[in-house]
C-alpha cells in the first residue's frame, strides 16, 4: 500500500523568522484522502541522521472530529514532510 503526504505551510509570525509551521496535511492512500488540520505546534526539535538534517515537530491537529497529537518530520535537504507518529 502506497501512501503520499502533502503539507501546506504558512509564513511564521514576524517574531519567528526562519521557523516553518505546518498548517494542514493531506494523506493519500490508494483512492482515500485524509486531511489533517494542524491546530498548533507544541514542541520542536532538530536531529541529524547521517548528513541529513531533520526538524521534528510535535503538533496538535484535528483528524475528522477528534483532536489528536502527532509528530511530523521535515527533511531539510529533501524539502519533504513525513508523518512520524500519530
Nearest to 34 by CA among 12, 4, 79: 4
Rounded Cα distance between 46 and 62, Å, is 24
Count of positions (residues) in the chain: 86
Q: Is the pTM of this model over 0.85?
A: no
Residues 45-71, mean pLDDT to the nearest whole number: 90
- The closest alpha carbon to 64, from 36, 38, 23, belongs to 36
pLDDT at 23 over 70: yes
The arithmetic mean of pLDDT across residues 16-38, rounded, is 81
Are the C-beta atoms of residues 59 and 81 closer than 8 Å to each other?
A: no
Indicate the domain borders of the chain. Answer: 3-85
CB distance 3 to 27 below 8 Å: yes
Longest distance between any two alpha carbons in the chain, whole Å: 41
Amino acid at each position: 500500500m502506497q501512501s503520499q503526504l502533502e503539507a501546506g505551510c504558512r509564513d511564521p509570525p514576524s517574531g519567528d523568522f526562519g521557523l516553518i509551521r505546518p498548517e494542514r496535511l493531506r494523506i493519500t492512500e490508494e483512492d482515500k484522502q485524509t486531511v489533517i488540520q494542524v491546530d498548533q505546534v507544541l514542541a520542536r526539535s532538530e536531529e541529524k541522521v547521517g548528513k541529513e538534517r531533520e526538524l521534528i515537530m510535535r503538533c496538535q491537529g484535528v483528524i475528522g472530529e477528534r483532536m489528536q497529537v502527532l509528530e511530523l518530520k521535515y527533511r531539510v535537504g529533501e524539502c519533504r514532510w513525513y508523518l512520524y507518529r500519530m
